[in-house]
Amino acid sequence: MPYLGSEETLKELKRALSNPSIQADRLRYRNVVLRVIRLMTQGLDVSPLFMEMVKASASVDMVQKKLLYLYMCTYAPLKPDLALLAINTLRKDCADSNPMVRGLALRNMCNLRMPGITEYIQQPVLAGLRDKASYVRRVAVLGCAKMQNLQPEAEIDGAVVNELYGLLRDPDPVVMVNCLRALEEMLKAEGGVVINKPIAHHLLNRLKELDSWGQSDTLTFLLRYEPRDEAELFDILNLLDGHLQSSHGAVATATLRLFLRLAAAHPAVQADALSRAQGPLLAMCASASRELRFAALCHVRRLLRSVATQYAAHYKRFFCSYSEPGYIRLCKMDILVELVNDENVALVLEELRAYCTDVLPELAQAAIFAIGRIGQMYSERCLGILVSLLGLRQEHITSAVLQTFRDLVWLCPQCTTAVCRAVASLEDSIQDSEGKQALIWLLGAHGDKISSAPYVLEDYIDSLKAELSSLVKLELLTATVRLFLSRPAETQDMMGRLLHYCIEEEGDMCVRDRALLYYSLLLCGVEDIRRILGGPTTDASLGVIAGHSEEPVDSWAPHFNTLELLLARGCVHMLAGRLPAPPSDGPHSSLSLSLEPALSPESFERHWLELDVSHVGPVTCPWPHCLPEALQAALQLVQIQVLAFSRPQSLPWKAYLYSHGDGTLILAEVLRDSTQGADHLQLTMKQVPRDKHVLQGFVAVLKSALQALSRDTS
């Protein structure tokens, strides 16, 4: 009960610490100190005991000394004046004949984070650099970095830096690595430690002496070395070769990263390194430590975007097992989708099918989405599985299947008939709003092929009062009006009721405005509304979900073996640092674009179909020859979102963008058509509400971003 009556406890400890009879008994004294440290760990503030604890540090007992140093380092920032009392003891210990005592004292003296300590530690640290015991030198080297950190505004002592560079040749390997680490921190402002040719080769030759931690750190430092010529490059790669298959995962991955970096100009060498590092990565994917397993899986998932074929033979390693936690299974399913080929598709689908009835709904849904993604290539097999899943009549399964259907119909028009048949025989109701939206969209877009469509929609309209999600209501409005176009007789009556309810009784302004819009459109006549709403219901050239192009290795190699890959965000964040910011002057400087509120692909499509063209014209700027993902990232920096784009090599190439500016929503289509010359870009824009000034600003922003990007890639 340390938190209750802590005052009492502190008083009691204070008494005990200053009790001479306890002080005389080594074991009892140590036990009291132990109690203090225990309370400190539990989060209790035991700093009032500082005075007594400083006295206790004069003990000869090593264990007690270590505990007291821990105490002092924790509370020194709070009690700097009292901590100065301990300095004398520490300085005396720094001159002890036992290197262990010297090292311990020096390390902890440097750990006292308080102002004014530097003047006391400078001399012992410098002496420590020349100590004959390597243990003390290790501590002293890092002490230099700590000292610098304590007074960041102070000028860097050139002599110390030189001494540290000299200590790279120290016989003790840990001293060498510590020198690198210390120099890196001290010279942060100048770009870190300099790795020139002699240093690089020295490090490479000593790599074998280091333990695995030192190796992986050194390999990371070597990333900044640029070999002079090809011969040197291949010498280095030869030296590194053995480490590529190290049994320590950290070393193997650090080596691979260095390989990819050094051989950036030699794709064949990169591919070879990737295939040889497969062993350690696969071993980690099956490691007993689930955290290590997860980290390795995240890396493999990223690798697969460039070298899917290499891992295809090992697809069985990525089957999930019963005992694994959900996040590992989700990661494995992602990988399985990437590994599918003609030979293994049957087995992979059978495996994924088994996960669809998992007890955890999230996993079951993820498995269904995975089958849907495979369905973009193997639509017939997958449709069979998905349709059979509907027979289970489980809410979460049905909802996921419908969402998958919506994507499939959009991307693979040949599935439409089968999907419509399955939807038509759907009997049970769906509760979650994602599933409802998918079903309503399907009914609206393909209502002519689903005989029961009007009756299902009517059920939703009748229970509209109980509906909570406004997204579902918006979807319902669009779907009903669309269905009215194809089956007017059955739909007219209920559409009237729906519009009446939404205009008269609905509380959500978005829904009400949408209903008013449709109402006025209907007043304009059926032909007009058909022209606006009756756009395409499928478009295979849109790559919203299917971004299956192979990425170059360099797009992820700089982030290999870093935390970035575990965060599993898109490539957007990685590119952010590399692209130049657009010039801030110019005509658009007054315009502020924004990505918020975000637009979903479906609502973009709706807007696109509903709105009239506000501006069409060519864009006069060179086409940046970069990946669509890079374009997406670049435009995101200037607050323009690329929602969808065609596959990289296809022509004509299209991309759809949107942004918000000064209260208007701007939608744009960029079309690159080979018939008009390879660099010709045609821009079609739609805006609501109209504002010519904003539109011009948007074009300027887009143009300057494209120019910056083409400069960067050429």
Partner 1 sequence: MISQVFILSSKGDHLIYKDFRGEAKSDVVNVFYQMVTDLPADQPPVLMTHEGLHFIHVRQGGLYCVATTTANVSPFTIIEFLNRLTALIKDYCGSLSEKSVRMNFALIYEMLDEMLDYGYIQTTSTDILKNFIQTEAVSSKPFSLFDLRSVGLFGAETQQSKVAPSAAASRPIMSSRGDQEGKNEIFVDVVECLTVVIGSNGVLMKADIQGEIRVKCYLPSCSEMRIGLNEELSIGKSQLRGYGAAVRIDECSFHQAVRLDEFESYRILKICPSQGEQTVMQYQLCDDLPSAPPFRLFPTVERDSGDRLLIYLKMRCDLPPKSVVPSDFTTNLVLACILKPTTSLSQELSSPDQSAELQPSCKVIQWEIPRFPGGAQLSALFKVEVPGLSAASLLEVGPVCMSFELPKHTCTGLQIRFLRLSPAQPGPSQRWVRYLTHSDSYTIRI
Using the minimum distance from each CB to partner 1, give the nearer residue, 398 or 646: 398
CB 228 within 8 A of CB 215: no
Q: How far apart are CB 575 and partner 1 at their closest, in Å?
A: 15
Helix (H) or strand (E) holding 703: helix 692-713
| C-beta atoms surrounding 322 within 10 Å | 6
CA distances from 703 to 117, 197, 613, 635, 660 (A): 56, 43, 19, 10, 17
Output the smallest distance, CB 383 to partner 1, in A: 17
Q: Cβ closer to partner 1: 154 or 526?
A: 154
Q: CA 523, 526, 531 angle in degrees (round to 5)?
A: 115
Least separation in angstroms between residue 205's CB and partner 1 is 18
Tokens for 33?
């100190």
Question: In whole angstroms, what is the distance from residue 166 CA to residue 689 CA?
Answer: 68
644-652: long-range contacts at Cβ-Cβ below 8 A with a sequence spacing of 24 or more? 644/542, 644/543, 644/544, 644/601, 644/604, 645/542, 645/543, 646/541, 646/542, 646/543, 647/541, 647/543, 647/548, 647/549, 648/549, 650/541
Distance in Å, CB of 346 to partner 1, minimum:
11
Residue nearer to partner 1 on the CB measure, 354 or 516 = 354
DSSP state of 448: G
What is the smallest separation between the CB atom of 358 and partner 1, expressed in angstroms? 6
Q: Are strands 653-661 and 593-594 parallel, antiparallel or unpaired?
A: antiparallel
**Ramachandran quadrant class, 639 (left: phi over 0; alpha: psi -120 to 50; beta: rest):** left
Min dist CB 124 to partner 1, Å, is 15
Q: Give the number of other CB atoms < 10 A from CB of residue 16.
A: 20
CB 259, min distance to partner 1, A: 15
State the Cα–Cα distance between residues 286 and 273, nearest whole angstrom. 21
Q: Which is nearer to partner 1, 361 or 547 (CB)?
A: 361
Distance between CA atoms of residues 44 and 344, nearest Å: 59
Spatial separation of the C-alpha atoms in residues 135 and 140, rounded to whole Å: 9
Smallest distance from partner 1 to CB 112, Å? 10
Q: How far is the CB of 287 from partner 1 (least distance, A)?
A: 8
Q: Token pair for residue 191?
A: 């770009």
Rounded to a whole number of angstroms, the minimum distance from the CB of residue 61 to partner 1 is: 9
Nearer to partner 1 by Cβ, of 135 and 518: the residue is 135
For residues 421 and 456, the answer to whether their CB atoms sit within 8 Å is no
Q: Which residues have CB under 8 Å from 232's CB, separation 6+? A: 197
Q: For residue 85, give Cα distances in angstroms to 67, 81, 101, 206.
A: 17, 7, 19, 43
d(CA 714, CA 710): 6
Nearest CA among 667, 567, 670 for reference residue 612: 667
CB closer to partner 1, 364 vs 668: 364
As measured in angstroms, the least distance from the Cβ of 140 to partner 1 is 11
Give min distance, CB of 337 to partner 1, in A: 16
Nearer to partner 1, 175 or 667 (CB): 175
- Shortest distance, position 194 Cβ to partner 1, whole Å: 19
Task: DSSP for 157-178, please give it.
Answer: -HHHHHHHHHHTT-SSHHHHHH
The amino acid sitting at 26 is R
Closest contact distance (angstroms) between CB of 215 and partner 1 is 10
Neighbours of 494 (CB within 10 A): 20
Query: Please, which residue, 251 or 502, has the CB nearer to partner 1?
Result: 251
Least distance to partner 1, CB of residue 220, Å: 7
Return the bridge partners of 616, or none.
684
Match 């406004």 to its residue by tokens. Answer: 470
Measured at the CA of 698, the angle between CA 692 and CA 704, to 5 degrees, comes to 140
Nearer to partner 1, 292 or 637 (CB): 292
In the Cβ-directed half-sphere of 129, how many Cα atoms lie within 13 Å?
24
For residues 441 and 436, give the distance between their C-alpha atoms in angstroms, rounded to a whole number.
Answer: 8
By C-beta, is 381 or 487 nearer to partner 1?
381
Pick between residue 558 and residue 586 the one whose CB is nearest to partner 1: 558
When the beta carbons of 169 and 290 are compared against partner 1, the nearer one is 290
For partner 1, the closer of residues 392 and 678 by Cβ is: 392
Closest to partner 1 by CB, 112 or 461: 112
Where helices occur in 356-469 by DSSP H, the ranges are 361-375, 379-390, 395-411, 416-424, 433-445, 453-462
Report CA-CA distances (Å) from 551 to 132, 303, 333, 580, 626. 53, 9, 20, 22, 11
Give 249 or 697: the residue with its C-beta nearer to partner 1: 249
Judge contact between 90 and 71, C-beta under 8 A: no
Q: How far is the CB of 286 from partner 1 (least distance, A)?
A: 5
Q: Which is nearer to partner 1, 285 or 681 (CB)?
A: 285
